[in-house]
Amino acid sequence: MFGFFKRYAETIVGVNIYPKISLAIFFIFFVALLWFTFRTNKQYIDEQANIPLD
């Protein structure tokens, strides 16, 4: 099954750019998530943690 997709994908012109784009999107998302985590106020985190308990 995967062999069919691999052979089909090899025939597409410029298909080698898609893994690079997906890696870049993942890296940007991961860095943004880390930035948000370290920049977020502790009070905001405590408020969000207590929402299920209210």
Q: Write out the DSSP string of 12-30.
A: STTTTHHHHHHHHHHHHHH
- Nearest-angstrom CA–CA distance, 45 and 36: 11
SS3 53: coil
Residue with tokens 């691999």: 6
pLDDT tens digits, 1-51 = 677 777 777 787 887 888 899 999 999 999 999 999 999 999 998 999 999
Name the CA radius of gyration of the chain, rounded.
20
43 touches 37 (CB < 8 A): no
Position 1 scores a pLDDT of: 64
